[in-house]
Structure 1
Amino acid sequence: MATVALIVHEIREDAEQAALTLAGWLTERGHKLALLEANAKDLAIDAAVCEPEELAKGASVVVSLGGDGSMLRAAQLAAPHGVPVLGVNFGQLGYLTAVEPDGMIEAVSQTLAGNVDVEMRMRVAVTVIRASGEEIDAGHALNEALVERDESGRTVRLGVSIDHEYFMSYSADGIIVASPTGSTAYSLSARGPIVAPLHEALVVTAVSPHQLFDRSLVLNPTSTVEIEVLPDRNASLSLDGRTIVRLLPGDRVCCTRSNVPAGFVSLHGEEFLNVLKTKFGLASSNGELNPNED
């Protein structure tokens, strides 16, 4: 008998209906369920209601029913407990999810039987060092840490050091430090490189830089990237799209490889390449175009 934790997109009725179906299937087989309070209010499921930090404790798997945003949340809660996440896609394309809704039951069955691979995805650990010397543990990002301009809309000046050696200063809308998994998120829209998710690296990309050098850096996973807010503009730090803290001139953001990776259930091997082909309408085989390409 296993415990399965569910994270369900709160405003998608199809995800909630799938959660009810999955809960019934699991209960019939003697498995236990765990839910967050926000989901428990909307779902008539016999389940343990948990605080976020306790949801994955003792679970065999966390099943995310939603899109990539739900997967980011699930990974954040599951990784500290060493519990893998299985993503069921109720979003659009879904870079992070492993299975479509019609394959949900089979995927969960195979996961509980141990017939799947678990991919360990690198995360980024982030610390804020105030100008006063105070250190703040900002947390861990699966996709990216972003130091960006504040609400004024003006570009921000940021000094970047790599392995404690000054590299250069940027005048830009922001700087992204992404994991390989995050290379297909905001970093990609900023013209950063695509890195296979099982690689380990820190990918540094400037957002709309106002200077000649605008190339990304793909650094060793053992590197330390420090971003200092230079006078006389404020900035902010966000992790995976969540604003964490406001930054003042002299504050620094330190990014390193996290020692707590996120485990993702993998059912079919290289889903990553298939998602890329679908998103960009790449040739399917023998030079033929995908059906969605004109």
Structure 2
Amino acid sequence: MSMKQACIYANSDKDTYFNLARGVMGYLLSAGYQVYCQDDMTDTLGCPPATDSQGPMDLAFILGGDGTVLTALFTGNLYDVPMCCINMGTLGFLLEHNSREFPVFMDQILAGDYEIESREMLSATVRSQDGRQQPIRYALNDVNVVRSSLGGVMRCNVWVGEEMVSEYAADGILVATPTGSTAYSLSAGGPIVAPDVACFIITPVCAHSLYTRPLVVKDTQTIRILPQRGPLSLVLDGQREFPIETGDEVIIKKAGVSAKFITTQGRSFFSLLRTKMGEWNVPRLK
């Protein structure tokens, strides 16, 4: 039987994360795992980079905040890999475990005493007028078609399936998953959606209309955004940006991969939401 593989990712800008990363590595080594880490941690942890791994990882450990999770998911190609996300800062929606609870959750995970919560993802591609199509790219939270920083109002047509929804004049059009409904979409006026609801949220960003509202559609639908003029950008999870030209078509649909989060505490989405609402200075639900 081949040796199991695990990788460690962390916000390497913060030295305080390395002590916990060493602790996680020690547990994994004692359990017989081959341990890898992100490229800029190899010297500190003394383990090979994740790019040297043989095949997909069996487990991934991510130390930081929600942004670190999104970065690791993409850079580490951790789609469909069980991820233990350890909160090292403020409360995050993607972070099940708290660093203060180490090593209790490590014992549970290495004993196989955990469950997997799968979160659906988005795939996005750009197709030009001559039929050329860019590579498919994935996002966990959202896909945003946004005007360039110096551009004017973006005008575009949005289609769901074979039917046009509307023509929008806005700074951008955001398509979010339920996981992403508590991120940028929420700030843009979108609804909070429980993560187990099978839908996408289409949210105009700073729409130039008093009556434009977010729209919730089934996640089996294909969404197409046809900008009427460029230059624009395609932004994935607020971290990766790609140019869009006039005449390009953005195609967004349910991805064939998912983000898999390890849960050991049975923490519900709504209990986390109540805590977050208090953090947002909203009276908590009793």
TM-score > 0.5, shorter chain as reference: yes
What's 1:260 paired with?
257
Rounded to whole Å, the distance in 2 between the matches of 1:164 and 1:251 is 18
Deviation at 1:190, TM superposition (A): 0.5
Secondary structure of the 1:278 match is helix
Judged with a 3 Å threshold, the aligned counterparts in structure 2 of structure 1 residues 56 and 190 are, in CA distance, closer, same or farther, namely: farther
- Within the alignment, does 1:32 sit opposite 2:34 as a pair? yes
Amino acid at match of 1:12: K
Judged with a 3 Å threshold, the aligned counterparts in structure 2 of structure 1 residues 181 and 108 are, in CA distance, closer, same or farther, namely: same
- Say if 1:143 and 1:181, in contact at 8 Å, map to a contact too: yes
Deviation at 1:49, TM superposition (A): 1.8
Rounded to whole Å, the distance in 2 between the matches of 1:206 and 1:284 is 28
Q: Return the TM-score normalized by structure 2.
A: 0.91
- Within the alignment, does 1:100 sit opposite 2:102 as a pair? no
Deviations 1:101-153 (A, max 9, x none): 01232222212222111011000011111122211124010000000010215
Say which of 166, 169, 173 aligns to 1:168. Answer: 166
Judged with a 3 Å threshold, the aligned counterparts in structure 2 of structure 1 residues 44 and 74 are, in CA distance, closer, same or farther, namely: closer
Which ranges of structure 2 fall in alignment gaps of 5 or more residues? none
- Say if 1:116 and 1:267, in contact at 8 Å, map to a contact too: yes
What's 2:83 paired with?
85
What's 1:48 paired with?
48
- Say if 1:206 and 1:216, in contact at 8 Å, map to a contact too: yes
Rounded to whole Å, the distance in 1 between the matches of 2:169 and 2:37 is 44
What's 1:127 paired with?
125
- Say if 2:178 and 2:192, in contact at 8 Å, map to a contact too: yes
Deviations 1:222-272 (A, max 9, x none): 1011011113x4210011112332112211111101111111111222442
What's 2:5 paired with?
3
Amino acid at match of 1:212: L
Deviation at 1:184, TM superposition (A): 0.7
- Say if 2:96 and 2:267, in contact at 8 Å, map to a contact too: no
What's 2:199 paired with?
201
Q: How does 1:109-188 map to 2 (within 5 A)?
A: 109-188=107-186
Mean CA deviation greater in 10-19 or 29-38:
29-38
- Say if 1:150 and 1:234, in contact at 8 Å, map to a contact too: yes
Judged with a 3 Å threshold, the aligned counterparts in structure 2 of structure 1 residues 60 and 44 are, in CA distance, closer, same or farther, namely: same
Deviation at 1:58, TM superposition (A): 4.0
Secondary structure of the 2:251 match is strand
Rounded to whole Å, the distance in 2 between the matches of 1:112 and 1:199 is 30
Rounded to whole Å, the distance in 1 between the matches of 2:270 and 2:138 is 26
Rounded to whole Å, the distance in 1 between the matches of 2:188 and 2:205 is 6
Rounded to whole Å, the distance in 2 between the matches of 1:153 and 1:105 is 51
Rounded to whole Å, the distance in 2 between the matches of 1:115 and 1:78 is 25
What's 1:224 paired with?
222
> How many corresponding residue pairs?
280
What's 2:269 paired with?
272
Judged with a 3 Å threshold, the aligned counterparts in structure 2 of structure 1 residues 78 and 91 are, in CA distance, closer, same or farther, namely: farther
Identity %: 31
- Say if 1:35 and 1:55, in contact at 8 Å, map to a contact too: no
Deviation at 1:163, TM superposition (A): 0.2
Deviation at 1:283, TM superposition (A): 5.8
Deviation at 1:79, TM superposition (A): 4.1
Rounded to whole Å, the distance in 2 between the matches of 1:26 and 1:260 is 26
Which ranges of structure 1 fall in alignment gaps of 5 or more residues? 288-294
